[in-house]
Amino acid sequence: MSASRWFSFASEALSSLLFPRFCSFCESVGSDPHALLCDSCAHELQWIGHRTCEKCGRPLPGRSSEPLLICGGCLTRPPAYDKARYAVLYSERVRQATIRFKYYGALHLGRALSHIMATAFFRHFDPGEVDVIVPVPIHRRRLVSRGYNQTVVLGERLAAEIGMPLDRFSLVKKRDTPPQVGLTKRERMTNVRGSFAVPDSGAVRGKNVLLIDDVATTGSTVEEASKTVLRAGAARVCVLVLSFRSGPDVAIVGTPVLDER
């Protein structure tokens, strides 16, 4: 071993000893000094595989690997966006991490959560098909109360990781809607209808927009936000969501390495 490689190895070993890497989710000490999650939490991530609706990105039942599958909902009522994709299922550990990140100020979790989104981005999108990232906004009243928009935090890290500009101002929430939790799909659509706005249409006109959010169930929020951005003149809207609240019959793929290298 050369002197330089020995020094690098020794420095990393000493750094790991003095400053051990803790798992972002469960806060246990991990064995890999570069890993953002411990092996247990990483293997519990349920990545959404390729058997999804080509349009809305929701997992489809069965095990077939047929391409270009369209769900019944998108056949009868196609969404406004070009395509949506989800990174992982809303499993218990993802749920706990998201709640802590979203409501309890655990902003350090944004590092791991945004890396999960970046992994999904490179799996499902060609960087050339996106011009700008636009996070789903929250109303200013909620922003003042919480102190931050969790989706903007995710967007900042995601933009840095995939090398894409972030536009956090063009899409705004003009009406403070009640939480979507517990509502039916029809109620969710009614709840968010007309709640978004693009004050300056020139900011998105002609652009290919990647709309991002943290959690989705029926997709009503990203659908309404997509309609708003498209009405403002965007050329195309795609959607990337961190996690999907799902049923038991889903298609998942293997767990990729989740680290910061």
Tens-level pLDDT at each residue, the chain (261 residues):
455 544 444 444 333 433 446 888 988 876 566 779 998 999 999 999 778 899 999 888 766 556 568 888 899 999 999 999 999 999 999 999 999 999 999 999 999 999 999 999 999 999 899 999 999 999 998 889 889 999 999 999 999 999 999 999 999 998 777 566 666 677 676 667 777 999 998 999 999 999 999 999 888 899 999 999 999 999 999 999 999 986 443 444 444 444 443
127: which DSSP letter? Answer: G
**pLDDT score for 249:** 39
- Alpha-carbon distance of 127 to 133, in angstroms, equals 11
Which among 231, 223, 230, 229 is positioned nearest to 189, based on CA atoms?
223
* Token pair recorded at residue 112: 């791991």
Quote the pTM value: 0.84
What three-state secondary structure class fits 110?
helix
**pLDDT score for 35:** 79
* Token pair recorded at residue 226: 């997509």
- Alpha-carbon distance of 16 to 198, in angstroms, equals 47
Q: What are phi and psi of 228, to 5 degrees?
A: -65, -45
